[in-house]
Structure formats: C-alpha cells, structure tokens
Structure 1
Amino acid sequence: MKQQRKYARVYALSVAMVCCALLAQAQTAARFMGSVTGISGNTLTVKTDAGEQKTVEVPAEATLKRIEPGQKDLSSAATMVFTDLAVGDRVLVKLDPNATGTAPQASLVVAIKQADVAKKQQQDQADWQKRGVAGLVKSVDPAAGTIIVTTGAGPTTKTVTVKTTKTTTLKRYAPGSVRFADAQSAPLDAVHSGDQLRARGTKNADGTELDAEDVVSGTFRNVAGTINAIDPAAQTIVVKDLATKKPVTIHVTADAQLHRIPDRMAQMLAARLKGTMPAGGWQARSGGGAPGAGAAAGGPGGGQFAGQGGGAGNGDPQRFLSMAPTIKLADLQKGEAIMVVATDGATDVNAITVLAGVEPLLEAPAATNLLSNWSMGGGGGEAAGAGPQ
C-alpha cells in the first residue's frame, strides 16, 4: 500500500511538472518579439529575437499600438493602422487564442518604428560620447563599488575612478559577442583587471572621477601580427600572433570595423606614442596639417585632424584613428601586418576592430592600449557601442 501511494505521488508530481511545462510553452508561444521582415496583404513576417521566422495575420479587429523606444506601458501609446507598419520595425505580437483560421492571428501588435529606434540610438551614442569614459580596467574594489580605469595611451594616458552604486546598471558582453544587445546583467565582481570597460554618468571637473549610471564591460583580446591567409568566402583572416607565435583565425562579421592608417599618419602616431614627436607636433614633421588629412578627413588642410593647442600632435592620438579611412576585407593583403581587438579566445575569435597600415605602430608598446581604448571609446564598432539601444 505504501509503495502504491509512493507511486501515486510520483505520478501526480510528474503530471504537474508536465502541465507546468506545457503551460509555460503555451504562454511563450502566445506572444513573440522581433523585427518585421516582410508585409503581404494583412500578413506580417517577423524574425524573432530567437532567430525564428514567424508569419501572422493581422485582422481588422486587432489592436495596433505604437510606442517610443524605452516606453514601458501602453497607457500613452498611440493607435496606429496596419499600413503604418514597415519592414525593419520592431514589434511585439500577441496571438489570439480564439482564432479559428488555420494561420495564427494577432489580437495585439505593439510597434516601435525603425526610424524611432535609429533616432534613439543616435541620441544614446551622443550621450555616451559626451558623458562617458572608456578604457582598460586597472583594478576593481567590489566593497567600495569602484573601478579604476586607464584611458588614452602614451603621453595621453589618464586614470579615472568609476564609482558605482546600487542604482548603477552593470552589464557584461556575452562570450563571443560584440553586440551591446547581447550584454547581460552581471555583478561588479565579474569585472576583472585587463577588461575593457565603458561607463556613462556624471564626471567631476577634471574628469578623473565618474559617478556611473551605466557600466558595460567585457574580456577581449588584442592580436597583432601578419596575415597568413584570407578567406573572402568564409570572411576569415588567419594571423600569426606576434606575442604567442601561433596562428589565430579571426572572423570578420558585419559588426566589425576595418580601417587603414595612411603611412605618414602611422609614423606620426608611433612617434607620439613613443614620446619622440618633436616640438610643434604634426606641423614640425609635415610642415602643416596632419598627414593624410585631405584623404581621411575629406578636405584640405588640417581638417578634423587639427588638435588641441594649435596642433594635432598635442591632442589625443585616439582621435586620429577615428579619421582613418574605412576599408573592406578584400583590401587586406597576405603578409601585411594588422592589429585586431577581438572577442576572447585562444585560436578562434570574432573581430571588433581591424587596423591595417600598422607596421610603425608595432614598435610602440603603447599602441596596444591605444587600439583597445579607441575600440571601446566609439571609433571601432558596436563594442564601442552606441550604448543601450
């Protein structure tokens, strides 16, 4: 009898667990979120955030609402019509459980227009640039809630204390990803010395302290070496790492940024980083504006390369990297040297930033930090981040 009761309890528990699982699946299936990839008649095709393609009919009686990025409730959402939807819009679709047709039907569609998302991203990026700091983590004190970060490189190196509180949003980039959208919440003790970090908040007068509202960090790898092979079809580069003397396969995804430094600019940057730039900076070495300014800045003279205090040589070398011309994978050649900031990994990584024309920089030890800080600071891809989106 006891054995029968035991089996009965086990059976009941199993049934309950199955029912809970089915209920959870039903609740998940009842709604989905993603981006509109197609519109035909009254039917939407949506690529969900999980990567699935879903097709749903939107009948005339369905409710359609438009919200702004970051809006949390529908109380102030504007009513929209189906023809207002467009490919690229973000949507939350709630399915009608009482639909009788063979195709899934929506009872509610909540949309964020693609143009609104782009506008919000631009505003966020500008705010991160204005109120943010980016660099390499020197030390972390979880008890005090502080992170010491070094920014810049060579003569422009600066130490900043990032102060966090219970209200600070802390995130870590997901392993193998350089997308802010994939970043996950993480405690302060997940941040380690050597990590790349970007923080946004209120700075003190001299910029040596920042009361952080948002912090995102990650463990990335710097690779400097010569190209052994390029596979355009696979979008990969094989580089012999000068530090480890071993080959590293680098995947160049759509998120990666590729730049080439003009020869004279690379020489000037190397001199700046090594502290051998003569008095007068760029002007003393080139007799005028910054090297390559016409091609890289798109105009004559010093253009945007004009530095602080009357010469670019007196400014931050990272600013020059932001002006380096963009290139494509096909522009790289076997045997040339490159510097790469990539996701963490021993032999197989995803590129964040690829910088060519770096032969003179390889002689300047500070160049590694220069590239890392620049990549996180807004010049090299999404890891540099437009910030929260």
Structure 2
Amino acid sequence: MRSQAHHSRVVRSAVTLVAFFTFWQVADAQQSSTGPARVVGTIQVISGKSLTVISDTGVSSDVRIEDATKFLQIEPGRTDLKEATPLSFSELQSGDRVLVRGILAEDGKTIRAASVIAVKKVAIAEKQAKERAEWQRGIGGLVKSVDPSASTILLTTNSLNANKEVLVHFTKDTILRRYAADSTRFDSARLAPLSELQPGDQLRARGGRSESGSEFNAVEIISGTFRSIAGTILSVDAATNAFVVQDLASKTAVTLRISSESQMRKLPAQFAEGLAARLHGQASGTGQSQNPAAQDVAPQAASNAQRGSTPGASQGGRGAGGDFQQMIARMPAATIADLQKGDAVMVVTTQGNGKDPLTVVTLLGGVEPILRASPKGSQDMILAPWSLGGGEPSGN
C-alpha cells in the first residue's frame, strides 16, 4: 500500500457518499414490487432515455427517464436539497452517483423516474483529492491519554530528533472512526464512540495545526488497536504470501500474512544506521546521536531513496525536516520476494480474530541496526504514524 494514493487505494469511494443518499438506502430494501420505488447507486450505462444504475450492494436497476423527470445536482457531503441546483439529463455521465425516485413500471422491474438527484463523479474526485491532501498534512502517532471533559487527546509523535507530544482537539462535529480488527481499509472502518479510544492506540487525524505545531484541531479521526512485532524471519512462503517471525518480545514464532493493503519498505543501510544512531542518542538521554556525523545520515539516505520513489512525491519540506514516517512512505515498496530467512523486521499487524494469521499492516526490513540500538521496541514510535498511512489512511 502507498500512502500517496491515510494511507493507493484511496481509493475510498464509499467514503464520499452523500449522507442524503444514505438516508434512503433502508427504504430501498423495503420497497414493494409495485408502487413507489427508489434506488441509490452509480450510473453504469446511459442508453437513449434509460439508465443502468448499480447499487452499493451490486444490484443492477433499469431506470426509464420520463418527459416530466426532474434532475438536480448536489455537492458531495451536502444533505439539504435547498442547496441543490438544476441539472439536465444530457449532463449525466457514467460514474455519477444518483438517487432515483419514481414508480415501478408494469414489468415490476424498471423504475419510471420522477426525480434524479446526482452527485457528479468529478465533484467526488475533487472531494477525494482534497481529503487525501488533508490526510497527508495531518498528524499521526500513539495515543497517550484521552480527556473527554476537555475534548482533547494527547498524542505522542516523533521526528528524527526526538519524540514530542501534540494536543489534539476535537468537537461534537469531529468524525470519529475505528478500524476493523482484521483490516486497515478506510472504507471498512466504522463510526465509533470516543469511549473506544484507549491509550496505546494508533491514531491519525486530518484538520489544522497550530502555528507552534503543539496543537491540532481535528476534523476527522481514525484509530485502531494494532500489534507491534520485532524479530527475525524464520521462513517465507511466497505462494501463500505468508512468513513466520520469531518475536523477540514473546520469544514465540508468529505467522504473518501479507495482503494487498500491506505497506512494506526495506530501509537503505545508510538510513538504518543513521536512524539507529539517533535512537541510541535518545535512549541515552541526550536526544541526539553521540556521533555528530550521523545526524545527517538518515535524511540524506532518505533523500537518495526518494529519487527512485513514486513520481510526484514531495522531495523536500517535511521529509527533509525530520518527519521520517513521510520519508519511509516515499521509499520504494518492497515485496515478499525481498524477505529472506534471517532478516530482521519490524511489523505492525492487525489484532486478528484469534484463528487466522495476523495481517501485516506495515513492515520494515533492513532494521538490524535499529533493533541493536533500541531492542526494547522503538518500533512502536517508528511505525505508529506511518502504519496509519504516513498520509491518508489505507493508502497503498
């Protein structure tokens, strides 16, 4: 998975559905074989005066346009039809989201449309692009504490120089989402109450930073409980996209599965050595490496790695300034073919369901120097923000 796409996938088409449409989805399942009918979905085909609309559950509906059919356009996220604007049939396109209301024709299948309310696919794409940018400018880290009375979350983040704390503010309008136990897909996340957010959870938010960077006003928050594993690879089965790791903490063998959503990177040796030197300096209480020459190794190695990374990725700004989750996210992706028996890896996985292998959320290879420098599990802070995208959630 690449964060450029929170976070490629996006990627997140279900997230852009208009709330107005969602309101009617229950009614869709209850409509009878005659009388009033409604369908919510995406236009697949436009032929003459007919539409083929595919619902979110994959059901196809034929819609017949009448001379009296009314057309309206509404922007993504809007729910009040007073904000809708007139639209003509000729402006509809395949890929547009629509709510069709009308009556069933004599065949009991075709809907004779009385009204069509559309969200243009271009508007959806623009909204997705805007949200991707907001996630990439967002913040990620480990939850240190939650204060419901003050509507704040204390988040521990880190940079190349030192860990730092950021106070995240939320309001009654802030969207709170929770990842599923066995997935990091954004569109599989559910709305969740604040009470489910616990210290130690990984969190990512989009919104706005204060000038000092010590506070963040969240518009949307997504969080989850994940497991961190550091160890050496015992075996690799490329045919099943699985491998076994000897967990250094529990001293047990753990089977892990790589999915299409897994983010995998292999650190350049120079980058890993420089990062290890910094972590060693933090562990000794200096906040810096004991070797001044090592201070610029990680940024320089990351810059070198970025030159071969995804076109369009930022080559400066935050990357050079010390957000190494962004650096990691911009490095070329690794595959299971890059994993070898005896390699040291740091992995964030799903909590799992207790039966199947844990699914890899993020994996870093080439981390032998880091584990030597901080064997107690610095992977929590190295991987935490990146594992929720280093940008948008569930990006590839």
Q: Smaller-chain TM-score range?
A: 0.7 to 0.9
Deviation by residue 1:257-313 (Cα, 9 ceiling, x = unmatched): 332222222222222222236324455x59xx81264453249xxx966688xx95x
1:358 aligns with 2:362: no
Specify the alignment match of 2:22 in structure 1. Answer: none
The CA deviation at 1:95 is: 5.3
Cα distance in 1 for partners of 2:159, 2:302 equals 21
Change (3 A) 1:121 1:83: closer
The CA deviation at 1:159 is: 0.8
Change (3 A) 1:57 1:334: farther
Partner secondary structure for residue 344 of structure 1: coil
- Equivalent residue in structure 2 for 1:367, among 360, 364, 379: 379
Specify the alignment match of 1:26 in structure 2. Answer: 30
Specify the alignment match of 2:226 in structure 1. Answer: 220
- Equivalent residue in structure 2 for 1:53, among 50, 59, 72: 59
AA partner of residue 324 (structure 2): P
After TM superposition, the structure 1 stretch with the greater mean CA deviation from structure 2, 236-245 or 185-194, is 236-245
The answer to whether the Cα contact below 8 Å between 2:161 and 2:322 also exists between their aligned partners in 1 is no
CA RMSD after TM alignment: 3.7
The answer to whether the Cα contact below 8 Å between 1:69 and 1:117 also exists between their aligned partners in 2 is yes
Change (3 A) 1:27 1:338: farther
Specify the alignment match of 2:307 in structure 1. Answer: 297
Structure with larger RCO (C-alpha < 8 A, sep 6+): 2
Partner secondary structure for residue 390 of structure 2: helix
Q: Count how many residue pairs are aligned between Structure 1 and Structure 2.
A: 347
Specify the alignment match of 1:167 in structure 2. Answer: 173
Partner secondary structure for residue 140 of structure 2: strand
AA partner of residue 58 (structure 2): E
Specify the alignment match of 1:327 in structure 2. Answer: 334
Deviation by residue 1:117-165 (Cα, 9 ceiling, x = unmatched): 22212212223444x3211011122233322110115742111122333
The CA deviation at 1:194 is: 0.6
Mapping 1:1-389, distance limit 5 Å: 25-27=29-31, 30-36=37-43, 42-44=50-52, 46=54, 48-49=55-56, 51-61=57-67, 62-75=69-82, 76-81=84-89, 84-86=92-94, 89-94=95-100, 96-101=102-107, 103-105=109-111, 107=113, 108-130=115-137, 132-152=138-158, 155-225=161-231, 226=233, 228-232=235-239, 234-244=240-250, 245-253=252-260, 255-275=261-281, 276=289, 278-281=291-294, 283=296, 290-291=300-301, 293-298=303-308, 315-345=322-352, 346=354, 348-363=357-372, 364=374, 365-376=377-388, 378-379=390-391, 382-383=393-394
Structure 1 gap ranges (5+): 1-21
Report % sequence identity: 35
The CA deviation at 1:188 is: 1.9
Higher Rg: 1
Cα distance in 1 for partners of 2:44, 2:229 equals 37
Cα distance in 2 for partners of 1:190, 1:164 equals 15
Deviation by residue 1:218-258 (Cα, 9 ceiling, x = unmatched): 212223332623344x54444443333132332413x3333
The answer to whether the Cα contact below 8 Å between 1:146 and 1:161 also exists between their aligned partners in 2 is yes
Cα distance in 2 for partners of 1:28, 1:357 equals 60
Structure 2 length as normaliser, TM-score? 0.73
Partner secondary structure for residue 291 of structure 1: helix
Structure 2 gap ranges (5+): 1-25, 282-288
